[in-house]
Amino acid sequence: MQTAEISRRYLDFFAQRGHTIVPSAPLVSDDPTLLFTVAGMVPFVPYLTGTVPAPFPRAADVQKCIRTNDIEEVGKTARHGTFFQMLGNWSFGDYFKEGAIEYAWELLTSPESSGGLGFAERDLWVTVYETDDEAAALWQKIAGLPAERIQRLGKEDNYWHTGQPGPGGPCSEIYFDRGPKYGRDGGPAVDDDRFTEIWNLVFMQELIANVTSKVDFDVVGPLPKKNIDTGMGLERVAFIKQGVENMYEIDQVRPVLDRASELSGRRYGAEHEDDVRMRIIADHVRSSLMLMSDGVTPSNEGRGYILRRLLRRSIRAMRLLGVDGPTFHDLFAASRDAMKVAYPEVDRGYAHIEQLALGEEETFLRTLAGGTTILDVAVQKTKAAGRGELAGDTAFLLHDTYGFPIELTLEMADEAGLAVDRAAFDSLMSDQRARAKADAKSKKKVLADLSVYGEFRAKGETIFTGYTDLTTETSVLGILVEGAPAQRAVAGQTAEVILAETSLYAESGGQAPDQGAIVGDGFELEVLDVQKPVAGLISHTVKVVRGEVGVGTAATTVVDADYRRGATQAHSGTHLVHAALRQVLGPNAHQSGSFNKAGYLRLDYGWNKTLSPETRSEIEEISNNAIRDNLEVVTREMPLDEARELGAMALFGEKYGDVVRVVDIGGPWSRELCAGTHVSTSAEVGMINIIGESSVGASNRRVESLVGLEAFRQFAAERALVQQLTQNLKTRPDQLVERVGDLVQGLKAAEKKIQAFEARALSDRVPALAANAARVGEVLLVAEHVGALGSGDDLRSLATAVRARLGDVASVVALTAEVGGKPLAIVATSPAARDAGANAGSLAKRMAGVLGGGGGGKPDLAQGGGTDVSAVPAALEAVRGELGH
């Protein structure tokens, strides 16, 4: 049974039993504490905790998940994968234990011919929480399971909670017996390799507190509503139904494994280490494909770092299979073909995904060779020194300069029989992050613990009126001071204010929040930030400027009209630049992120080449032509499927609801899904002035632009600069480039003459310096301070010229000069002097020590420097002392 068919049967089964079918949430989680959706329940947490009212009493879904905490086990076991899919059915105060058990048993054991999954009852075991007599009795009643196939386990295995105070409850897990070939008999309590968990039914019925660990918490009472949260591992069910050994061999994963086998010429099943590598490749390529289809791009931070690590581990595994060249073109195509039936968006966005993957592969293959050489040399030196641990600074160099994830260095060092000084590496990384953040100041205030918003959200969604109104009369639903609910906030305090309605735009879709105020009878609040802490709720971070505001008070939101005008210009300008980019570069130049505020826009897009000045000008001209043409801007709300049929562009990886807002500029010329605020016609944007274009990754670039009045001001400043230059240089604006070019050429010619003069002046000093040679010990010594010079090269040339002037005799030339306000010393020795024991390197080091610095070099020519100019005579005397011994 194909994986997509298992999903279809699951959803059909629950749809026929009154469940709302919910599409998978993106892999990028809305939860600010999570990088990814790590479990099927993550998108439903607001409903399970009561923070947001559930929009349906029962639901079912197939949720995409990414979990990388067990990445080292990938390829080694039958069930560890970074990307996996959870089949779930959910009840929010509707059915409970009996219903969940009935549904699970019916779906699992019903014949395939009637839409079930066709598991034999004799192969299924269950576990329940040790004190859950009700669940044990229901399994006997509904499934007819004998008591010995219902095992009771403790909190570690059969009690679920989030790890935080809140809902929890016992759970019941269903296991499949793979048979005696895979381990001991006796059920899941004895051997969880033979007995594979396929489904977990969580009976969420209790409120817990004082949580310190998985097993250490207090049950403080029952939940007002009992919920059901189940999760069935799609990959686990698939490998059992398809009769293969592990999840890497199912229909959605095996094609990548087979392609890796073909490219490497290694047969899968022939050698254990090669098998592990092929399974790693198959898993990581699929995981990377799905992450990029949800908008994640490779980078050195956060989600992008996880993706980069997966991609680079895949490349590394292919190299260990003997393939040094690029392979992602073939591997990703194989994964796309395997996944597109279940996830058509993978196919629709594949051009962008492949561009990202190939760009990352090209970059890493270039750096891998150099980094591997560095590592190999470090390994040899470490072993030669008799140490078993690679230095932390070497690991940091590989990460910082060559882009090696530390995990890759750990793996490669381990293959060579070495550990890595991880503590030293972590310290260097911490220092680097501290330096990077030293000058960064966040404008954001930390929002309160999300659980405090539940009471406010239960009163309904915040109504946003700002598309049409800049002021709105409303009432204060709640106040938070330092993250805790409060009845009032007084002058001087900073607080969060929850309103029933608001005209102030909350940051989203790349648009910065509105600026403005909230006013009422006897109080005035300055708006510092506007955010959406939970779905459907808007929170205003404010400073109480005057008076006192309390819960239940009437209030009016007032948007700063000038700021909003600039923000709408910038957001509409972003759409114009995006359309122009795609017109010039083609459909692969897909927006991957944006930020806009009054007067400024930034747009990231998929591309791997620097824009030429001509291309940049063309994009800017197309954008401004659209402004000149005064295109109508129309916003409409419609079902998501209808919007896609119209060709509306979606931000890559963004999450959208069933009803979306479509923004047209000039009809289909620019048609995007967008919840931001916009102008009425393109002419209101005013002007686009592209001020920068740069790289933000192997296959991503960024364009920045000033918009509206800010764009005009930049042009005005540049015009003033041109006017000043034309006046100073006494030329016309159209001749300015030629005039400046002539000046530059003249300056270069003058510099050459000066250099020639200085060189002649230096050569003229050679005879006098040579004439000052005096015998010290066995050599002739020239030890002189020559004053201020332009560079160290000048002093070096002078020293070698004096040495040549002295001929074949045993001679040492030790010269000092002041270069850039600091003392510099050069020592040159002749062959005969070196035969007599004079060494330029040691002499330069001695002089530098006197000067308060360091130095050294080769026996024939060396240099040193310091900070103390007054010590020059002592440094020269030190040379005389060394040679006179």
CATH code: domain of residue 812: 3.10.310.40
Closest CA to 528 of 515, 537, 518: 515
Give the C-alpha separation, 311 to 753, whole Å: 55
Which of 53-57, 150-154, 645-649, 758-762 has the least mean pLDDT?
Answer: 758-762
Binding site residue list for Zn(2+): 571, 575, 674, 678
Give the C-alpha separation, 66 to 302, whole Å: 14
Residue bearing tokens 């990231």: 604
**Are 763 and 814 contained in the same domain?**
yes
The predicted model gives 664-671 an average pLDDT of: 93
Q: Give the domain-ending residue among 499, 526, 559.
A: 559
pLDDT at 439 over 50: no
Q: Give the domain-ending residue among 538, 559, 580.
A: 559
Q: Does residue 738 fall inside a structural domain?
A: no
**595 beta partners:** 602
Which of 111-120, 709-718, 746-755 has the least mean pLDDT?
Answer: 746-755
Number of CB atoms found within 10 A of residue 569's CB: 28
Give the C-alpha separation, 75 to 282, whole Å: 9
Which of 78-92, 254-268, 319-333, 565-579 has the least mean pLDDT?
Answer: 78-92
Closest CA to 504 of 535, 453, 469, 553: 469
Q: Does residue 194 fall inside a structural domain?
A: yes
Q: Does residue 443 fall inside a structural domain?
A: no
What are the Cα distances from residue 623, in Å, to 430, 582, 618? 43, 11, 9
Q: Where are the beta strands (DSSP E) in 629-687?
A: 633-639, 659-665, 670-673
Higher pLDDT, 95 or 442: 95
Give the C-alpha separation, 829 to 831, whole Å: 7
- The number of C-alpha atoms within 13 Å of 389 and in the hemisphere containing its C-beta is 9
Give the C-alpha separation, 89 to 59, whole Å: 6
**Are 231 and 324 contained in the same domain?**
no
**59 beta partners:** 20, 90
Model pLDDT, residue 854: 87
pLDDT at 655 over 70: no
**Strand duo 166-177 + 195-209: pairing:** antiparallel
Instruction: Give, in degrees to the nearest 5, the angle at Cα 282 between 116 and 294.
Output: 80
Would you give the DSSP letter of residue 511? B
pLDDT at 430 over 60: yes
CATH at residue 520? 2.40.30.130
Q: What pLDDT band is residue 607 in, cutting at 50, 70 and 90? A: confident
Burial class of residue 242, CB neighbours in 10 A (0-12, 13-18, 19+): middle
Q: What pLDDT band is residue 441 in, cutting at 50, 70 and 90? A: very low
Read off the tokens for 38.
């790590």
**Are 381 and 511 contained in the same domain?**
no
**Are 128 and 107 contained in the same domain?**
yes
Binding site residue list: 571, 575, 674, 678
Model pLDDT, residue 564: 96
| Selection from 218-222, 334-338, 785-789 with the highest mean pLDDT | 334-338
Read off the tokens for 231.
């999760």
The predicted model gives 574-600 an average pLDDT of: 92
Cβ neighbours for 842, distance < 8 A, ≥ 6 positions apart: 856, 882
CATH at residue 138? 3.30.930.10
Q: Does residue 739 fall inside a structural domain?
A: no
Higher pLDDT, 385 or 441: 385
The predicted model gives 328-344 an average pLDDT of: 95
Cβ neighbours for 781, distance < 8 A, ≥ 6 positions apart: 773, 774, 775, 811, 812, 813, 814, 879, 880, 883
**Strand duo 811-819 + 150-153: pairing:** unpaired
2-12 pLDDT, tens digit each: 999 999 999 99
Read off the tokens for 537.
């709720």
The predicted model gives 836-841 an average pLDDT of: 91
What are the Cα distances from residue 384, in Å, to 46, 370, 387, 425? 58, 21, 8, 22
Which of 35-49, 251-265, 556-570, 708-722 has the least mean pLDDT?
Answer: 35-49
Burial class of residue 499, CB neighbours in 10 A (0-12, 13-18, 19+): buried
| Phi, psi for residue 358 in degrees, rounded to 5 | -65, -35
The predicted model gives 604-628 an average pLDDT of: 92
pTM to 2 decimals?
0.70
Would you give the DSSP letter of residue 609? S
Question: Which amino acid, one-letter code, is at 448?
Answer: A
Q: What percent of the chain has pLDDT over 90?
A: 62
Q: What pLDDT band is residue 844 in, cutting at 50, 70 and 90? A: very high
pLDDT at 448 over 70: no
Read off the tokens for 98.
């009996």
| Phi, psi for residue 319 in degrees, rounded to 5 | -65, -40
**233 beta partners:** 86
Residue bearing tokens 């004079």: 838
Q: What pLDDT band is residue 440 in, cutting at 50, 70 and 90? A: very low
**Are 784 and 807 contained in the same domain?**
yes
The DSSP H or E segment spanning 529 is: strand 523-531
Question: Which amino acid, one-letter code, is at 846?
Answer: R
Q: Give the domain-ending residue among 195, 226, 249.
A: 249
Q: H/E/C letters for each residue in 463-499?
A: EECCCCCCEEEEEEEEEEECCEEECEEECCCEEEEEE
Model pLDDT, residue 188: 92
Number of domains the chain contains: 5
Model pLDDT, residue 698: 67
* 3-state SS class at 786: strand
Higher pLDDT, 408 or 631: 631
| Selection from 134-148, 161-175, 455-469, 738-752 with the highest mean pLDDT | 134-148
The answer to whether the beta carbons of residues 378 and 398 sit under 8 Å apart is no
Q: What pLDDT band is residue 165 in, cutting at 50, 70 and 90? A: confident
Q: Does residue 737 fall inside a structural domain?
A: no
Instruction: Give, in degrees to the nearest 5, the angle at Cα 417 between 412 and 420.
Output: 65
**Are 324 and 385 contained in the same domain?**
yes
**Are 274 and 406 contained in the same domain?**
yes
Number of CB atoms found within 10 A of residue 680's CB: 12
pLDDT at 207 over 60: yes
Closest CA to 751 of 743, 741, 739: 743
Q: Does residue 11 fall inside a structural domain?
A: yes
* 3-state SS class at 168: strand
pLDDT at 457 over 90: no
Give the C-alpha separation, 756 to 330, whole Å: 60
Give the C-alpha separation, 329 to 335, whole Å: 10
Give the C-alpha separation, 80 to 363, whole Å: 29
**Are 107 and 234 contained in the same domain?**
yes
CATH at residue 689? 3.30.980.10
26-41 pLDDT, tens digit each: 998 877 678 888 888 8
Higher pLDDT, 600 or 296: 600
The predicted model gives 659-670 an average pLDDT of: 93
Give the C-alpha separation, 202 to 169, whole Å: 7
Which of 72-81, 191-200, 696-705 has the least mean pLDDT?
Answer: 72-81
* Average model confidence (pLDDT) across the chain: 89
Q: What dihedral angle (degrees, nearest 10) is formed by the CA atoms of 331, 337, 343, 345?
A: 80
* 3-state SS class at 689: strand
Would you give the DSSP letter of residue 322? T
**Are 268 and 236 contained in the same domain?**
no
**Are 555 and 571 contained in the same domain?**
no
Q: Where are the beta strands (DSSP E) in 79-217?
A: 83-92, 124-129, 150-153, 159-161, 166-177, 195-209
| Phi, psi for residue 796 in degrees, rounded to 5 | -65, -45
What are the Cα distances from residue 133, in Å, to 97, 98, 137, 146? 12, 13, 6, 14
Q: Does residue 726 fall inside a structural domain?
A: no
Cβ neighbours for 774, distance < 8 A, ≥ 6 positions apart: 780, 781
Q: H/E/C letters for each residue in 342-403?
A: CCHHHHHCHHHHHHHHHHHHHHHHHHHHHHHHHHHHHHHHHHHCCCCEECHHHHHHHHHHHC
**Strand duo 516-520 + 501-502: pairing:** unpaired
**Are 419 and 455 contained in the same domain?**
no
Q: Residue 851 belongs to what domain range? A: 754-884
Higher pLDDT, 126 or 854: 126
Q: What pLDDT band is residue 403 in, cutting at 50, 70 and 90? A: low
**Are 139 and 73 contained in the same domain?**
yes
Question: Which amino acid, one-letter code, is at 543?
Answer: K
What are the Cα distances from residue 701, in Å, to 253, 572, 692, 696? 31, 20, 11, 5
Give the C-alpha separation, 403 to 311, whole Å: 12
Read off the tokens for 101.
């058990």
Q: Does residue 390 fall inside a structural domain?
A: yes
